[in-house]
């Protein structure tokens, strides 16, 4: 299992790097292609649009294919998209290549999460998902800074060639280490995957993801002006502080995986509560440099504690056909990115102050907590008294006799 999870993490590392590196390369790309910075910003949106469209679409199209083949094919599409980005002659072709690069993102994480959980014993499912997501959080700590430096010194096209090389390494790792148990097509097929999406608990889980991670992006999208205008950092210090966020996110991701294996709901509720509390304290913490650095780190921890529980909850609610719902959850993460940034921008535009996006994020965290509470209430109504214990007994025969008595 560790080698297979490492293969998934390598793919996640490449995807995380190409998703976020464009933010640091926007001035270089704009100068080289003779376009404005706002026009270059559309390259970020093109990738996000590819994720939202590609996640459910590719998961549906590949529903009858073996998951091992799907993962390798998605990573091959990722390599092609980044290679085309490196050789794009102009802005229009680069926009198309970035959209293509985003298409496999959500489906890879969605199908990869399903594969990770099927290779793990029941008591380690959340931990296995968190180990796959480790590649994404490490990309923020190491991949994005290194790729940005490469682009600044060797040209932005070299960055995308480097990311393509990571994709090729991921393909080799997936082919070598994903067990051959995953070379057979799933029995559910597209009809089963679509049927799983008709479940109210699945949509409540997706809604929790949108609100919960919308809380993060409401604040994180405007973290630079908070650090410079409120905390007093120099603009040159922001890169290091964002690396602290990545360290916090990595720690939160690993912590969330371990805690969720003991209590999925408890970890989710605790993570959303902690996220709301950190965001509420942002206006105070951003008054000094030391406390602002702590706030950025805590934001990463609190937000990513909920990552694995949210992914696992969606998959459990769609257990009859988890691949499509799991991929849809990745689209929900990107909707949270766009929606959270928009809501945080509204708070700024209304003149509530540079730290006001964090307070808007706290409100979104409270909304996510409310949706999660409704989901929990629906669960309790759908499972009769004693039903949960009998489900556990079915998986743990040593307890079945005592429960029957």
Task: Give 316-373 pLDDT, tens digit per residue.
Answer: 887 767 778 888 888 888 888 878 888 988 888 888 988 999 999 999 999 999 999 9
**Using N-to-C axis directions, what is the helix angle for 67-86 and 91-118, rounded to 10°?**
160
Mean pLDDT of 217-226: 85
Predicted local confidence at residue 164, as pLDDT: 95
Local confidence band at 380 (pLDDT 50, 70, 90 cut-offs) = confident
Whether the pLDDT of residue 114 is over 80: the answer is yes
Local confidence band at 185 (pLDDT 50, 70, 90 cut-offs) = low
* Total residue length of the chain: 405
- In the predicted model, what is the mean pLDDT of the chain? 84
In degrees, rounded to 5, the angle at the alpha carbon of residue 139 between the alpha carbons of residues 252 and 77 is 125
**186 three-state secondary structure:** coil
Mean pLDDT of 96-122: 88
Tell me the pTM: 0.79
Which of 151-165, 172-186, 232-246, 325-339 holds the top average pLDDT?
Answer: 151-165
**Using N-to-C axis directions, what is the helix angle for 91-118 and 322-349, rounded to 10°?**
130
Specify the DSSP class assigned to residue 181: G
- Higher pLDDT, residue 398 or 336: 336
Residues 255 and 30: their CA atoms lie apart, in Å, by 39
- Higher pLDDT, residue 345 or 391: 345
* Closest CA relative to residue 26, chosen from 13, 10, 43: 43
Buried b (16+ CB within 10 A) or exposed e, 299-318: bbbbbbbbbbbbbbbbbbbb
278-311 pLDDT, tens digit each = 999 999 999 999 999 999 999 999 999 998 888 8
Domains of the chain with CATH codes? 1-186 (1.20.1250.20), 192-405 (1.20.1250.20)
Mean pLDDT of 145-171: 89
In the chain, what percentage of residues exceed pLDDT 70?
Answer: 90
Q: Report the 10 Å Cβ neighbour count for 86.
A: 18
Whether the pLDDT of residue 103 is over 50: the answer is yes
């Amino acid at each position: 299992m560790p080698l297979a999870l490492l293969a998934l993490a390598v793919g996640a590392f490449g995807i995380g790097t190409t998703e976020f590196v464009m933010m640091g390369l926007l001035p270089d790309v704009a100068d080289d292609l003779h376009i404005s910075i706002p026009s270059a910003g559309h390259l970020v949106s093109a990738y996000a649009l590819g994720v939202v469209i590609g996640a459910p679409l590719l998961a549906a199209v590949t529903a009858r294919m073996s998951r091992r083949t799907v993962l390798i094919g998605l990573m091959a599409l990722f390599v092609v998209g980044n290679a085309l980005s490196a050789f794009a002659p102009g802005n229009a072709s680069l926009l198309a290549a970035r959209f293509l690069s985003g298409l496999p993102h959500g489906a890879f994480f969605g199908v990869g999460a399903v594969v990770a959980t099927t290779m793990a014993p029941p008591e380690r499912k959340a931990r296995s998902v968190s180990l796959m997501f480790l590649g994404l959080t490490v990309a923020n700590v190491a991949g994005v800074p290194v790729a940005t430096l490469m682009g600044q010194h060797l040209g932005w096209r070299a960055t995308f060639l480097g990311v393509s090389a990571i994709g090729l390494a991921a393909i080799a790792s997936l082919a070598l280490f994903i067990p051959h148990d995953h070379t057979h097509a799933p029995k559910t097929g597209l009809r089963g995957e679509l049927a799983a999406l008709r479940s109210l608990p699945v949509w409540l889980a997706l809604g929790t993801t949108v609100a919960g991670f919308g809380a993060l992006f409401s604040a994180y999208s405007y973290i630079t002006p908070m650090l410079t205008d409120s905390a007093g950092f120099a603009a040159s210090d922001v890169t290091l502080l964002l690396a602290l966020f990545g360290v916090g996110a990595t720690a939160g991701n690993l912590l969330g995986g371990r805690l969720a294996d003991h209590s999925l709901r408890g970890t989710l509720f605790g993570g959303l509560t902690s996220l709301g509390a950190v965001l509420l304290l942002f206006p105070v913490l951003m008054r000094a440099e030391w406390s602002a650095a702590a706030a950025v780190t805590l934001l990463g921890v609190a937000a990513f504690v909920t990552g694995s529980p949210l992914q696992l909850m969606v998959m459990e609610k769609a257990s009859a056909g988890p691949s499509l719902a799991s991929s849809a959850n990745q689209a929900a993460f990107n909707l949270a990115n766009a929606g959270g940034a928009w809501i945080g921008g509204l708070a700024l535009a209304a003149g509530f102050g540079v730290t006001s996006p964090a307070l808007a994020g706290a409100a979104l965290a409270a909304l996510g907590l409310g949706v999660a509470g409704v989901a929990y209430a629906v669960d309790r109504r759908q499972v009769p008294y004693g039903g949960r214990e009998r489900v556990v007994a079915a998986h743990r025969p040593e307890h079945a006799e005592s429960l029957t008595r």
